[in-house]
């Protein structure tokens, strides 16, 4: 049985890529793979992956004498205190690489993996390729890495050179696959679309609440500008559903000026806005099942798994028309009326909308929410069982099965060469 070492430069939780990492480990655990993983924590913290088999954890600790700064995040606004890659000094980078080198080298020496799976096509993945040229190394692109090529452009040449030599790169959709080939110079034959999945045991439609006297809207994700949360609150402020109470639940957290601007807009909103902070997945599922419409107003995403999680809980969805999402979702779901796409505002950067187009975008967002609520009232497309069958196919077991097959063939071919 293959021995897998998983590596991320971030925390193993609290982010979408952390959810992905743990899901892959969970699926591999079900198939009795031997596994170990490397991830970042702050000094004094602990983390344990709960699986059927023992999985060794090799943590890299931050806020220590060796690494006296916060964990570096793949987005500039993380759900925890973090360092921006764009602001890392040369001394910080040297310390960062040295610490990861020590821990990963120890993991490789003790665990002796057949393959390494890195998360994000970014600095650590390029460094791992440099350190271990003879081990099969694959990396999962989460979209934020493509964004960092622009935001922290001084690292781009090193990242591109190292990642171009990966044995495999996994993309979340066809659009992202094309970007990876173009941006990193990885041969197209080594870049494969595996998508993303959801946990069907957590996200389901059992005990869904029917709201008679209120309209329950929900958003889940980080509280920052790139997620469009400010525009969502402004759109909600304009809603009026025949005198019914309107409430927006915001699940997630953020830091700094961007989060404060969101809190300020919520205080001024005519309708109630409830902030839950970070919530575990079982609690998020309950919030979804108590709600009517899920809204993702984001200006940038890798692959928004939360859309599938929300639909699996019986919610109607409003989302920006993000690149690659329609292809991933599929024709059955797209044509069912359960999901409504909103045209993006004009963009002047990777995740920076043009200010002049934001009022029109907020109006489009408002109209899409009204459209979904109208469908809800009329019970349009009420026979959606075929949609839920399509949703079930987007599970983590299917994603890992695809990854497993591709990785097996690559290791076999590498052994023969």
Instruction: Give me the pLDDT at residue 323, please.
Output: 87
Could you tell me the two tokens for 201?
Answer: 């045991």
Arithmetic mean of pLDDT, 352-365:
95
Q: 160-213, pLDDT tens digit by residue?
A: 999 999 999 999 888 899 999 999 999 999 999 998 888 888 999 888 888 888
Residue ranges, comma separated, of all CATH 3.40.50.2000 domains in the chain are: 3-197+395-416, 214-392
172 near 301, Cβ under 8 Å? no
Residue 380 has pLDDT above 60, yes or no: no
Which residues, at least 6 apart from 207, have a Cβ–Cβ distance to it below 8 Å?
A: 289
Cα distance between residue 217 and residue 293, in whole Å: 5
Task: Pick the range with the lowest mean pLDDT from 135-139, 289-293, 408-412.
Answer: 408-412
Distance of CA 80 to the CA centre of its chain: 15
- pLDDT over 80 at 292, yes or no: yes
Angle between helices 281-289 and 305-312 (to 10 degrees): 50
Category of 381 on φ-ψ map: left (φ > 0), alpha (ψ -120 to 50) or beta: left
* Strands (E) located in 287-349: 293-296, 316-320, 339-342
Residue 299: which pLDDT band, with cuts at 50, 70 and 90? very high
Distance CA 229, CA 264 (A): 12
Helix (H, G, I), strand (E, B) or coil at 117: strand
What is the pLDDT confidence band of residue 349, given thresholds at 50, 70 and 90?
Answer: confident
Question: Does residue 397 register a pLDDT over 90?
Answer: no
Residue 311 CA to residue 289 CA, distance in Å, equals 10
**Helix (H, G, I), strand (E, B), or coil: what is residue 386?**
helix
| pLDDT above 70: residue 382 | no
**Tokens 């696959």 belong to residue:** 177
pLDDT of residue 393: 75
- CATH class of the 3-197+395-416 domain in this structure: alpha beta
b/e burial code for range 128-151 (CB count within 10 A of at least 16 → b): bbebbeebbbbbbbbbbbbbbbeb
Residue 383 in this model has a pLDDT that exceeds 70: no
> Which pLDDT tens digit goes with each residue over 40-62?
999 999 998 888 888 999 999 99
CB 222 within 8 A of CB 77: yes
Q: Is the CB of residue 2 less than 8 Å from the CB of residue 114? A: yes
The separation between CA 393 and the C-alpha centre of its own chain, rounded to angstroms, equals 19
pTM: 0.75
Using pLDDT thresholds of 50, 70 and 90, give the confidence band for residue 305: confident
Q: Which two tokens stand for residue 303?
A: 């692959």
Report the C-alpha gap between 103 and 134 in whole angstroms: 18
Q: Are 252 and 220 in contact (CB under 8 A)?
A: yes
- Residue 109, token pair as written in the block: 């020496």
Write out the CATH class of domain 214-392: alpha beta
**pLDDT digits 0-9 by tens, 214-272:** 999 999 999 988 999 999 999 999 999 988 999 999 999 988 899 999 999 999 999 99
Q: How many CB atoms lie within 10 A of CB 52?
A: 9
62: closest CA among 120, 119, 5, 11? 11
Q: What is the mean pLDDT of residues 121-141?
A: 97
Q: Compute the distance between CA of residue 124 and CA of residue 74 in angstroms, rounded to an integer.
A: 11
Q: 307-334, pLDDT tens digit by residue?
A: 999 999 999 999 999 988 898 888 889 9
User: How many Å apart are CA 82 and CA 87, to the nearest integer?
Assistant: 11
Residue 403 dihedral angles phi and psi, to the nearest 5°:
-60, -45
Measured between alpha carbons, how far is 42 from 142 in angstroms, rounded to an integer?
23
Measured distance CA(241)–CA(343) in Å, rounded: 23
Measured distance CA(63)–CA(218) in Å, rounded:
35
Lowest mean pLDDT among 199-203, 280-284, 400-404: 199-203
pLDDT tens for 55-84 read 999 999 999 999 999 999 998 878 889 999
Contact between residue 341 and residue 326 where contact means Cβ atoms under 8 Å apart: yes
Mean pLDDT, all residues of the chain: 93
DSSP secondary structure letters along 10-23: S-SSSSHHHHHHHH
pLDDT tens readout for residues 8-27: 999 998 888 998 999 999 99
- Helical ranges in 115-226 per DSSP H: 123-131, 144-151, 156-163, 174-184
DSSP letter for 221, please.
S
Instruction: Name the 3-class secondary structure at 26.
Output: helix
Max Cα–Cα distance, the chain, nearest Å:
70
């Amino acid at each position: 049985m293959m021995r897998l070492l998983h590596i991320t430069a971030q925390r193993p939780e609290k982010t979408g890529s952390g959810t992905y990492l743990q899901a892959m480990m969970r699926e591999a655990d079900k198939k009795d793979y031997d596994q170990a993983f490397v991830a970042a924590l702050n000094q004094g913290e602990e983390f344990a992956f709960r699986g059927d088999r023992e999985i060794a954890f090799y943590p890299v600790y931050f806020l220590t004498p060796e690494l006296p700064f916060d964990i570096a995040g793949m987005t500039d606004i993380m759900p925890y205190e973090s360092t921006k890659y764009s602001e890392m000094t040369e001394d910080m980078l040297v310390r960062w690489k040295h610490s990861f080198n020590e821990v990963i080298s120890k993991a490789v020496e003790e665990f002796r993996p057949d393959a390494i799976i890195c998360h994000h096509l970014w600095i650590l993945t390029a460094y791992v390729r440099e350190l271990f040229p003879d081990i099969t190394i694959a990396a999962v692109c989460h979209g934020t890495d493509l964004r960092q090529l622009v935001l922290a452009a001084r690292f781009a040449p090193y990242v591109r050179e190292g990642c171009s030599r990966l044995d495999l790169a996994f993309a979340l959709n066809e659009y992202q696959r094309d970007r990876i080939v173009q941006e990193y110079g990885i041969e197209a034959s080594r870049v494969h679309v595996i998508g993303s999945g959801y946990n069907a045991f957590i996200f389901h439609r059992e005990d869904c609440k029917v709201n008679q006297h209120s309209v329950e809207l929900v958003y889940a994700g980080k509280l920052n500008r790139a997620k469009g949360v400010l525009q969502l609150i402004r759109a909600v402020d304009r809603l009026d559903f025949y005198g019914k109470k309107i409430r927006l639940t915001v699940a997630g957290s953020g830091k700094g000026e961007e989060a404060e601007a969101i809190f300020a807009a919520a205080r001024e909103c005519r309708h109630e806005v409830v902030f839950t902070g970070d919530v575990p997945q079982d609690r998020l599922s309950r919030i979804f099942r108590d709600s009517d419409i899920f809204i993702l107003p984001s200006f940038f995403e890798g692959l928004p798994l939360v859309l599938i999680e929300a639909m699996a809980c019986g919610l109607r969805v409003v989302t920006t028309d993000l690149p690659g999402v329609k292809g991933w979702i599929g024709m059955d779901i797209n044509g069912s009326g359960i999901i409504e796409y909103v045209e993006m505002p004009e963009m002047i950067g990777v995740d920076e909308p043009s200010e002049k187009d934001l009022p029109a975008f907020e109006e489009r967002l408002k109209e899409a929410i009204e459209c979904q609520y109208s469908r809800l009232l009329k019970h349009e497309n009420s026979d959606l069982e075929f949609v839920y069958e399509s949703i079930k196919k987007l599970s983590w077991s299917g994603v890992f099965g695809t990854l497993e097959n591709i990785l097996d063939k690559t290791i076999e071919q590498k052994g023969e060469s």
